Amino acid sequence: MIVIATDIPAIEKIVWEAFDKYAPPDSYCGMDDIRAQHATTAACWFPNVDKLLDLPNLELVHSMAAGVEHLNIQALEGKYKVCRIVDSSHKSAMLNYLLWGILYFQRHFDSYLKNNQQAIWQQLPQRPSSEFCVGIMGLGELGHHIALKLRDMGYPVVGWSNSAKNIDGVRTFAGKEEFAEFIQHPQVLINLLPLTAETKNILSAQTFELLPQGAAIINTGRGGHLNASDLLAALDAGHLSGAILDVFEQEPLSPENPLWHHPNIVVTPHIASHADLNVVVQQIVQNDQYVMAGKRLLNEVDVVRGY
C-alpha cells in the first residue's frame, strides 16, 4: 500500500489525479485513510514528517521528483529507505533547456535582445562551440548525461563533483581541493548539484570571483545553492555577464524580488524539466512491490550523503 504524503494542496491535487490515472486501484490512499496504517511506501513532496513517523509499517519514503531535499531526510531519523525518480524524458528536457541557456550566452542573444529594445543594429562576433567552455557542477545521472551530449556537440566540457568521476572526453574534478582549479575554466557554469549542507550557497561570491571575467551561470539545481545578493553584486560589478535561474528558495518568486528586475538575469518558473507523471507513479508502484518482496529498490538514495 502506498500513502500519498504532501502538505501542499495544489501539489496534492496533481498527485491524486496522477495516481487515479496510472496506479492500480486500491494500491494507494491518503494520510487520513485507515489503510495508511498498513502502508509500506509513502509517495512524498514536502511531507508531514510527524505523520510519517506514526505509520507502523512504513519502510520506504519515495520522492516524487529527481531530488530528495524536500523530504527532510534528517528528521526521518534513518528509519526508512529513500528513493527518487529517474526518467529519460527528464534528461532530454533538461538538455534542451540547458542548450538554450548556453546558446543564449554563446551567441550573444542576451545582448541582441537588449539591442532590440533600443533598435540598435550591431553584429557581434560569433563564438564557435569548440571555443566555448561549459562547466557542470554535479556529475550524477543527469549531469553525466548532459556532459556527454555537450561533448558530442563539440563543446569543451569540464565537470566537478564530490567524488571522482571518469567521463570520456570530459575533464573532471572532484572534492573541495580541486574546486578552485575547475572553476577557472567555464564560460558558462551549470549547476546540477543535489542540495546538501555542503553545497548550500555554493553559488556565492567565493565561487563567482574564481570564474573567468564575463562568465555566466545557469542554476537548475535548487534555490538554496544560490546566494542571490552575491549574484546581484557580481553582475553589477561586471564580473559576471548574466544568469539564468530556474529554481528559488521560495516559489513562486515574489514580484518584488530583485532577481526579476535585473537586466542581466532571466527568470524561468521552475520549468527546466519535469518527470512524466506516468513514470513517477509507475516507479513508485514498482518500488512498493519491491519493498514488499524484499527486492533491491530502484534509484535508492544514500540517506547519509543525501543523494
Q: Residues with catalytic annotation?
A: 222, 270
Is the peptide bond preceding residue 252 cis, with omega within 30 degrees of 0? yes
Answer whether 72's CB lies under 8 Å from 96's CB. no
Q: Between the CA of residue 132 and those of 69, 170, 188, 209, 271, what are the distances in Å? A: 32, 14, 8, 19, 25
Answer whether 19's CB lies under 8 Å from 42's CB. no
- What is the rounded distance in angstroms from the CA atom of residue 63 to the CA atom of residue 301? 10
* Secondary structure (3-state) at 31: coil
Which residues, in sequence order, are CB contacts of 122 under 8 Å at separation 6+? Answer: 111, 115
- What is the rounded distance in angstroms from the CA atom of residue 231 to the CA atom of residue 259? 9
For residue 223, which phi and psi values (nearest 5 degrees)? -60, -35
DSSP state of 289: H
Answer whether 105's CB lies under 8 Å from 187's CB. yes
Alpha-helical regions (H) of 88-246: 88-106, 109-117, 141-152, 176-182, 205-210, 228-236
The number of CA neighbours under 13 Å toward the Cβ of 182 is: 25
Cell of 80: 526508512
